[in-house]
Chains A and B, each alone.
Chain A
Amino acid sequence: MENPLIFEAKEIVKNYSNHVALNKVSIRIPKNSIFGLLGPNGAGKTSLIRIINQITAPDSGELLLDGEKLSRKHIKDIGYLPEERGLYKKMKVGEQSLYLAQLKGMNKKEANSKLRSWFEKFEIEGWWNNTIEDLSKGMAQKIQFITTVVHEPKLLILDEPFSGFDPINTNLVKNEILNLKKKGTTIILSTHNMNSVEEICDNIALIDKSNKILEGSVNKIKEEYSEKIWEITYKGNAVSFANSIWGGWELLKQEQGINNTIKTKIKLSPKLNLNDFIKGIIDNVEIIELNKVNPTMNDIFIKAVNKSNELEPKLDE
């Protein structure tokens, strides 16, 4: 793989009294990358995140951070923004940011100067002496984000970091995440927001029903799941377009475009390649535009989860 690993989980098992939360889940996260941890609700993502944060311990399995066995001394190397988050409502913003930073192992002076510069960056210096009660939800989220990253962790775990932000602030946070990556931080992003996965994740792991069902780089996975689907816009007769080639392809969609064009979406069979298809139609219609349709992470997510659900009853037989 490209970079050395910052974090590795090997065969993690976690049982609760009446169910298995994680069933031999292994993940490998390369340094300086953004790792998407995906999965439906209740799949076991939170259990895994809590284990990485040492909030709970796994029943078996091994965890390595930067090559070392994960222990309490690594707390300062990890930053965690939980999905369900909150701050002390009646405590002043500055005071509690300092408190949380110190709990993460910073000294007061260092925490103070780092926090001040983050507050400046987010243009919220004026909030230092306000209480959280005085702030809106979005404002509180910003504070929370800052307190998560202020101690400059090697590994940053963000659970649904964009929920609660408006588009402008979502963008601000997204840029900050990319900035942190540029500076060398590795980020685990747990989210349902598949657009953001496509935009910023390098690698993903998909967990469903306590099992990891998919892992790898986003590009590779997309390739794996890609089908020969193309979007073709042309000028000409729709019937002659359809009759150009017999068999080996499927018309998925056809609609009227602007300036007398027709927009179609086609899927080629494995036997037919694009060149042969083009050869067939090129004499009958004028091609205006041709685009490869890649599977979205959303499609892949649904497909992979459905596939693992289909497998399940077969295993029982």
Chain B
Amino acid sequence: MSKVGLIIAREYSSRVKKKSFILMTILGPILMVGFIFGALYLGQQDEEKIKILVHDDTFAITQFINYEKENPNQLTVYDTSGKKNYDDAILDFKKSENYDLLVYLPENIIKTKNSTGIIQYKKPPTAKSLTYITNVINKAIEKSTLQFYNIPKEDYDKLKSNVQFRTIDIKTAEENNNMAKSAIGLLFGVIIYLFIFMYGVQVMKAVIEEKSNRIIEVLVSAVKPFELMMGKIIGIMLVGLTQFTIWVALCSLSITILSVVAFPDMMEAANQAEMMQSNIGNEVTMDNEFADIVFRQINWPLMIGLFLFYFVGGYLLYGSLMAAIGSAVDSETDTQQFMIPLSAPLAFAYIIAINIIGNPHGSTAFWCSEIPFTSPVVMLVRVAIGGEGMVWQVLLSMFLLIITFITTTWIASKIYRVGILMYGKKASYKELLKWIRFKD
């Protein structure tokens, strides 16, 4: 094995054997998938059963409420209309454990549009159940109003308009859903940001370790500083790629298993989404949209491929500079002044990535996805959202990234070869510039 190969192998195997790596690699995707599905699951479970006591002064609405309930178990209605006056109903509500809410429908509620009913509670209702009750009652009021004015339901339905728009890409004939796509893009953005930063810092720490435990002098008597630095950077990069690969594998596996076992509906939704392609007239519900995006609209191989490229590129850019920082200091506590100019653009890229979602093809989005210090994070979000003329932009940004990481690696190696043998001297930026110009 070549010497660089030996160094790569050591850096790689000493890291993947660590308990923390194994734990993160296995727990990471489980936590991520568990979190997403947990949220979905809890969302489904949220159909609480509500018992309401209705005091209906119009005597006309309550009878329709029961017809309008979508799910009969969810809502139980107790009607006090005609039996008691409102004050007695209030007393009943206060005394009894049977009711969750007291709904008061005043007499003028049918004749006056936009009048206000009153819901009294002991425990505040959730927004979801309040929306549900309001819907049901509004529909009941609608029905009783039709009856009051003696308007046939069919006539009313003819009058009523309920138009919604779907936006469809004329070339691909696919529905566009920027928000959901950007959410996926942002997820990639977050992961690439974390990966570049995490593994970049690992390079820095590894360099500081070798310098501070003084093994460095023995090492550079056997290999060139450049070989040592590259071996370290590549070894740690392979650790990152390993982790990502396992994450992708575990995520797809657990999504598949969970979809089949715990969420058969969702798979159906995916199939429906497929059918929908040829049958545009069907109504699409919220759940279907999510499944549609996850299973159809995101080009996973492309996203994963780009992730790998931009991770490698961004990591080499930042990792090489962090290696240079590690070589210039004696201990981790001295890294502060050099770390800020490196962590700032990365954090900035992340903020930009969130902000361009509204305008993914504006000039901010364009430039930040081309400038190599921000492009790995920003470009992933833009590609996930998709759009016209992205191909040349992606290629250009890749090209710029490659040029830049070659340059930073070259600069870093110049600083590194001097820095690793300098002790007890606090390096300034001026000093680093001087090191770059040193001859061997």
Asked if A104 contacts B213 (CB within 8 A), the reply is: no
At the interface, is chain A mostly helix, strand, loop or mixed? loop
Size of the chain B interface, CB-CB below 8 angstroms: 24
Interface pair A87/B3, CB less than 8 Å apart: no
Inter-subunit contact B221/A55 (CB<8 Å): yes
**B421 at the binding interface (Cβ < 8 Å):** yes
Minimum Cβ distance to chain B for residue A93 (Å): 13
The 0/1 profile, CB within 8 Å of A marked 1, for residues 218-234 of chain B is 11111110000000000
- Assembled-state Cα–Cα distance A88/B15 (Å): 13
Contact B3 A103 (CB under 8 A): yes
CB distance from A314 to the nearest CB of B (A): 34
**Contact (Cβ within 8 A) A80 B440:** no
**Which of B14, B220, B221, B438 counts the most chain A CB atoms within 10 A?**
B221
Q: Is chain B's binding surface mostly helix, strand, loop or mixed?
A: loop
A168→B217 CA distance, assembly (Å): 27
Q: Give CA–CA (A286, B439) in the complex, Å.
A: 70
Whether the Cβ atoms of A87 and B213 lie closer than 8 Å is yes
Instruction: Please indicate the chain B residues that have their CB under 8 angstroms from the CB of A88 in the complex.
Output: 209, 213, 215
> Bound complex: CA of A167 vs CA of B370, how far in Å?
65
Known A17-B434, A55-B421, A57-B440: A102·B6 in contact at CB below 8 Å: yes
Give chain B residues whose Cβ lies under 8 Å from the Cβ of A17: 434, 438
A103, B222: Cβ atoms closer than 8 Å: yes
A271 within 8 A of B: no
Q: For this complex, into which size category does the number of interface residues on chain A fall?
A: 20 to 34
Nearest-Cβ distance from residue B371 to partner chain A, whole angstroms: 34
Q: A55-B217, A89-B213 are in contact. Are A104 and B222 (CB under 8 A)?
A: yes
B423 / chain A contacts, CB cutoff of 8 Å: 84
Min CB gap B332→A, angstroms: 15
Q: Are B421 and A99 in contact (CB under 8 A)?
A: no
Known: A56-B440, A57-B440, A102-B6. A75 touches B213 (CB 8 A): no
Q: Mark A83-123, 1 if CB is under 8 A from B, else 0.
A: 01111111100000001101111000000000000000000
Contact yes or no, A80 B10, CB < 8 A: no
Taking CB atoms, residues of chain A closer than 8 Å to B224 are: 72
State how many angstroms separate the Cβ of B355 from the closest Cβ of chain A. 42
What chain A residues lie within 8 Å of B222 (beta carbons)?
Answer: 75, 100, 103-105
CB of A82 within 8 Å of the partner chain: yes
B1 with A102: CB separation less than 8 A: yes
Contact indicator A86/B440 (Cβ below 8 Å): no
Residue of B218, B220, B223, B438 with most partner-chain A CB within 10 A: B218
Q: Within residues 183 to 198 of chain A, which ones have a CB less than 8 A from any CB in chain B?
A: none
A-B CB contact pairs (8 Å), 8 listed: A55-B217, A56-B440, A75-B221, A82-B221, A84-B217, A85-B215, A85-B217, A148-B218
Instruction: Please name the 3 residue pairs, one residue from A and one from B, whose CB atoms are nearest each other, closest first.
Output: A86-B214, A86-B213, A103-B222
